[in-house]
Structure 1
């Protein structure tokens, strides 16, 4: 299936999460730490979608030095729990690639977004990309995963 790319107006997002340093495909360890914090502070019911921020280009930074952030959306009325950090993603336009399938196929989706779509779009990035997960491998088979890759754009 060809993943669809569209420009959307994205609302501000408040994230609560933990940083990860190392290969992006190992960010699950940071999500496990975040799960422990959410369970410890009984915040799971208040947590929204899972989100992963990616700060570096894997084409430019060695895998051991890659920086990312494993997070969940959280309302402003919830205090940031001990051991977690808050990140606010600003509102604005974003290119959103709706990827259907395994996480192992995400690098090809990024190649399409950055290597094909962006150069021909006439748009410029306004921040780091992030992934919003509609489901997880605990919930569905790998071929049924839905992940939105967001690329914030200049207005």
Structure 2
């Protein structure tokens, strides 16, 4: 998505207002329609613009912020600083407000879950693993290649387990084209 500089600055200001609102209301139900209203974008455009500017869907961002707030409040030190995301739905066929995502951090077994925060074992079993270098916005094309080309060519079958991603560097201090993402696709 190409955006004029003046429009980009205005959009960034709107996104900043949303991020502040979300961070100030993490303990509450956050209505996506209200976020769209606050942003001044239509509901549909709001989801696309939010994901374009922050590199992740709004629901994923909210869950990640809640997880980080929980870890901070409980004085939990993650064993790894690489967040793990598990995606239950295909964004090509599921509307943005219906996408389901789990955001995970590796923690010590002694950590006790609380509220919406739980523990689970993730990325167990057999996976096809790919390392991708580039912007998060292009991950959809990477998945298309994995599912449409490599899985069939390799004769692999999928398991009924969410796909996963591990983000190997921090997007806050890494150029978008240098971001590293390890992709896990569950196979039989």
Q: Gaps spanning 5+ residues in structure 2: where?
A: 1-31, 33-46, 48-55
Q: Which has the higher helix share?
A: 2
Q: Rg larger in 1 or in 2?
A: 2
Coordinate RMSD, CA, aligned: 1.9
With normalisation by structure 1, the TM-score equals: 0.76
Q: Which has the higher strand share?
A: 1
Whether 1:130 and 2:164 are equivalent positions in the alignment is yes
Return the alpha-carbon distance in structure 1 between the equivalents of residues 116 and 97 of structure 2. Answer: 22
Task: After the TM superposition, list the runs of 4 or more consecutive aligned residues in structure 1 that deviate by more than 4 angstroms.
Answer: none
Higher relative contact order (CA 8 A, sep 6+): 1
3-state SS of 1:118 partner: helix
With normalisation by structure 2, the TM-score equals: 0.64
In structure 2, the CA distance between the partners of 1:124 and 1:75, relative to structure 1 (3 Å rule), is: farther
Aligned mate of 2:180, from 138, 146, 150: 146
Q: Gaps spanning 5+ residues in structure 1: where?
A: 1-21
Return the alpha-carbon distance in structure 2 between the equivalents of residues 25 and 84 of structure 1. Answer: 19
| Match in the other structure for 1:57 | 90
The count of corresponding residues between Structure 1 and Structure 2 is: 132
CA contact (8 A) 1:131 1:150 kept: yes
CA contact (8 A) 1:41 1:81 kept: no
CA contact (8 A) 2:135 2:179 kept: yes
